[in-house]
Amino acid sequence: MTDLEYKIGYTFKNQDVLSEALTHSSYSNEHKGKMNCNERLEFLGDSVLSLIVTNYIFRNFEQLPEGDLTQLRASLVCEKTLYKFAKQIDLGRFIKMSRGERHGGGADRPSILSDAFEALIAAIFLDGGYEMAHEFVMGFITTEIKQLNKKPIKDYKTTLQEIVQKNPGERLEYRLIGESGPDHDRHFVAEVLLNSNSIGKGGGRSKKEAEQQAAREALELMGY
């Protein structure tokens, strides 16, 4: 059993899938692609994580409407939270990355650690099945929910920004597209654009509220 397996309480039958989950693209590139990086596993892990969290909060927060469930889920699977989970198991120490990446602080970079955490979830899922992945994820999620005090996050714009930031180069912007009503009861309509493409619209009694509702719609359309 490796140190990481001891920390997470799971022993892999297939060590190759664990090795792939811990291989950053910089390491794979440094070794001329002889080892697969963890990007494909990260893709799978993101979906497995979302399913586990969605199922849990749907069953345990019956009083919450869809919008609040979306925000609670987003707060539990965002980069900031996954980075915290990764730090709890000292994941950065086990990730294989290029010398330059490690010397540049890669072992403590939120994007790298959160991606590797998702890849680790996928590795457990492939090696041990859904139940083992579920057990691993819930060991973090139940504690996090208690810390959130069961209060869903209402800042849709911040949550959307954190999700988009996981993909370098993508850009969010908000645009006011409508305004109506008398001065004492104005109604604003805003849209949020991702790389100049509209991904959500919303209205409210202020520009800020309209932007929040636009971000909320975008999150829903993105499955968060």
Assign 3-class secondary structure to the chain. CCHHHHHHCCCCCCHHHHHHHCECHHHHHHCCCCCCCCHHHHHHHHHHHHHHHHHHHHHHCCCCCHHHHHHHHHHHHCHHHHHHHHHHCCHHHCCECCHHHHHCCHHHCHHHHHHHHHHHHHHHHHHHCHHHHHHHHHHHHHHHHHHHCCCCCCCHHHHHHHHHCCCCCCCEEEEEEEEECCHHHCEEEEEEEECCEEEEEEEECCHHHHHHHHHHHHHHHCCC
Report CA dihedral (66, 67, 70, 76) to the nearest 10 degrees: -120
Please indicate whether residue 209 is annotated as part of the active site.
no
The CA distance from 92 to 125, in Å, is 21
Express each pLDDT in 74-86 by its tens digit: 889 999 999 999 9
pLDDT at residue 71, as a whole number:
79
The reported pLDDT for the residue numbered 1 is 61
Q: Report pLDDT for 169.
A: 84
- Per this entry, what is the length of the chain? 224
164 CB neighbour count, 10 Å cutoff: 18
Q: Which listed residue (42, 79, 115, 118) is catalytic?
A: 118
pLDDT given at position 61: 83
pLDDT average, residue stretch 114-124: 97
Taking residues 199-223, report their average pLDDT: 89
The answer to whether 118 touches 7, Cβ cutoff 8 Å, is no
pLDDT of residue 150: 47
Instruction: Give me the percent of the chain exceeding a pLDDT of 90.
Output: 58
Amino acid (one-letter) located at 110: P
Q: How many Cβ atoms are within 10 Å of 114's Cβ, its own excluded?
A: 25
**Which candidate in 20, 42, 46, 217 is catalytic?**
46
Lowest mean pLDDT of 26-35, 69-78, 164-173, 210-219, name the range: 26-35
Q: Does 26 score more than 50 pLDDT?
A: yes
At residue 171, does pLDDT exceed 80?
A: yes
Q: Is the pTM here over 0.85, yes or no? A: no
CA-CA distance, 52 to 157, in Å (whole number)?
Answer: 24
Angle between helices 79-88 and 130-148 (to 10 degrees): 110
β-strand partners of 23? 96
Tokens of 6: 């001891």
Residue 28 · residue 35 · CB < 8 Å = yes
Cβ–Cβ < 8 Å for 196, 138: no
pLDDT digits (tens, 9 = 90+) for 33-76: 678 899 999 999 999 999 999 999 999 888 777 777 887 898 89
Mean pLDDT of the chain: 90
Is 185 annotated in the active site? no
pLDDT number for residue 33 = 67
Tell me: the pLDDT tens digits for 3-25?
Answer: 999 999 999 999 999 999 999 99
Mode of pairing for the β-strands spanning 172-180 and 187-194: antiparallel
Lowest mean pLDDT among 27-36, 53-62, 103-112, 188-197: 27-36
